[in-house]
Amino acid sequence: MNDLLNITLIQSNLYWENPEANRKLFAEKIQSIPEPTDVMILPEMFTTGFSMNAQTLAEPMIGPTLSWMQEQSNKTKAALVGSIIIEEAGNFYNRVLWVEGSSTLHYYDKRHTFTLAGEDKIYTAGTKKLLVDYKGWRIMPLICYDLRFPVWSRNTDDYDLLLYVANWPEKRTMAWDVLLKARAIENMAYCVGVNRIGTDGNGHDYVGHSAVYGVLGGRLTHENFDGEFTETVTLSKSRMLEQRAQLQFLNDRDGFTLD
């Protein structure tokens, strides 16, 4: 088990509906990471922006972006995480890919499709959670709107790290900040959110606020987080377990059944 886990948040503007340009953009950012890292995290729909144009933009699972992610992961010896538009069996999915080199691939389909933007009419909702076992850490990746639904992310599986990739708009930034912190506190786990910046093709503005929060809600990333940045944060599993053992809040959690 690795006590320490280095995670790198990559907050960036995106080229609207231009996968090739975005892959090039993020390749340059990944290559410029100055220190060794274990996990690199990209935003939601990092190759396209939050687009409903799935018919044109969707890729098969074994497609150019997966190959690109495997290449980047192989070069850095780190896991690479982000969501893209996938077509499978005639359905479209907003799908997180967790890639470890060429040998390991995990994926999660966004459960809570964003009805305000009509995502529910284009994309098929996922039905299963994903727990990734990586270097002795248990990690649960989720996507954007999932952040608003605490029952889905409730820590009944003793995960260590909750991870959200997002295109979360500026007008609801306060909710993003508060909910990321709340998910960390209520689940006594590290919580990471990686959001984009800039303006998308629909005129929606994004100001990032990507961050990492600790078990007690303290932010572990820097204060000025509105622009483009790449930041690596070191998490300590032993420190997290000490806090859980001291406070024992998870022992009092309610049982429930999720339909």
Q: What fold characterizes domain 4-252?
A: Nitrilase/N-carbamoyl-D-aminoacid amidohydrolase (3.60.110)
Measure the CA dihedral 20/21/24/28, to 10°: -160
For the stretch 246-252, contacts whose Cβ atoms lie closer than 8 Å and that sit 24 or more positions apart, written own/partner, are 247/188, 249/188, 250/155, 250/187, 250/188
CB environment 46-80: b (16+ within 10 A), e (fewer): bbbbbbbebeebbbeeeeebbebbbbbbeebebbb
pLDDT in tens, 114-147: 999 999 999 999 999 999 999 999 999 999 999 9
pLDDT digits (tens, 9 = 90+) for 157-186: 889 999 999 999 999 999 999 999 999 999
Q: What is residue 223's predicted lDDT score, i.e. its pLDDT?
A: 66
pTM to 2 decimals?
0.97
* Among 17, 59, 100, 144, the one annotated catalytic: 144
- Those residues whose C-beta lies under 8 Å from the C-beta of residue 135, and which sit 6 or more positions away, are 1, 2, 5, 38
pLDDT at 167: 98
Q: Is 170 a catalytic residue?
A: no
**Confidence at residue 224, expressed as pLDDT on a 0 to 100 scale:** 59
Active site residue 44: yes
pLDDT < 50 regions, the chain: none
3-state secondary structure of 149: coil
237 is catalytic: no
| Integer Cα distance of 236 and 233 in angstroms | 10
List the domain boundaries for the chain. Answer: 4-252
CA neighbor of 125 nearest in space, from 113, 140, 141, 116: 113
pLDDT of residue 108: 98
List of residues 6+ apart from 181 with CB closer than 8 A: 191, 213, 217, 219
pLDDT of residue 257: 81
C-alpha to C-alpha distance for 156 and 139, rounded to whole angstroms:
13
Catalytic residue among 59, 100, 110, 181: 110
Q: How many residues does the chain have?
A: 259
Contact indicator for 80, 72 with CB cutoff of 8 Å:
yes
Tokens representing 126 are: 């996922």
pLDDT at 255: 84
